[in-house]
Structure 1
Amino acid sequence: MKKRYLSVALVVALAGSMMMTSCIGSFSLTNKLLSWNRQVGNKFVNELVFFAFWVIPVYEVSCLADVLVINSIEFWSGTNPVAKGKKVIDGHDGRYLVECDGKGYTITSENDGSIVRLDFDADRQTWSVDAGQGAMPFMTFVDDNHVSMPAADGTMQTVELSQAGVMAYSQSAATGLFASR
């Protein structure tokens, strides 16, 4: 009888905690696990690992940890502890070390040691870039469908978040780049 009450209490507590947060979260732990699985090998190996992780309940545990613990930390603190970390990226012109601290990214070129910092200001909904000469805002979220970005003439231009909007901005930036040369 006591075991049944404990089970019911646990289910009610879990359901209540999920209904009280109102934050979807980024599910960083589960996404990192899935991303790792995609890089294991060819599609057949990936499928076998996926199936094994589903049977062993690795995915279930990671999803539950995201929903109950990590999502709550992200909701209350504004940062995701799993999102932090380092990754080496091989680009077309060299290798880069990307470090995430939960608020932004530090990108270090292994070629020349140059450092670029990308930061997000949640209050102003603005991403800024600092390449050593001070932070400069480069994208501010206006609403769900628009951002404000620098135009070639130095003013800010509203860009629609669609394929057409991004293409129009790209063309105006390229035109401005060629006009300034």
Structure 2
Amino acid sequence: MKRVKSALVLVSLALFLFSGCYGKFQLTKELYQWNGSLGGRAANSAVMWIMMIVPVYAAVGAVDFFIFNTIEFWTGSNPITMGEFEHQETIVVKDTETYKIAASQNRMDISLLSGPRTGQTVSLVYNAAEESWYAQDKTGSIKVAEVREDNVLEIFNPDGSSFVYNTETGAIGCMAK
């Protein structure tokens, strides 16, 4: 179980590392459009200033960048833009291993189709109530990322330590177990 969880977390972290693509930033766009629909220019401006000071825009932008654009990079579709019953799959080949990545709203399933661990599957599932992402396999689930109230996106490592990104200051760091 520990080895599987370590592998799952490493795959999850690798997905975050490949988030350098330029995506739609759909969540950020939807927040901006909502802000623009509140009323007149003064109301829109006041709400924008509040959301900049409280760093709502920074938090939403970080989640868009680290989570949703990564999923969009691998699957070609952003789960924010996906409807409840939409589903998209893509095949990724890396060296001797072939993976199937299936994305739907708030979920991404990664299955190994060929290679030494053929048949192994992991799912990344978003829990909206907790604002957290979980890696799940047949042995259980483990939290791999969460958006905290203190403007921090925290990504968990297999050893219990975590990588954090402060959406307010832009600071990046590691936290001990």
Same fold, judged at TM 0.5 (above)? no
For the aligned pair, the TM-score class normalised by the smaller chain equals: 0.3 to 0.5
> How does the TM-score come out when normalised to structure 2?
0.43
The structure that is strand-richer by fraction is 2
Structure number with the bigger relative contact order (C-alpha 8 A, sep ≥ 6) is 2
Q: Which has the larger radius of gyration?
A: 1
TM-score between both structures, scaled by the size of structure 1: 0.43
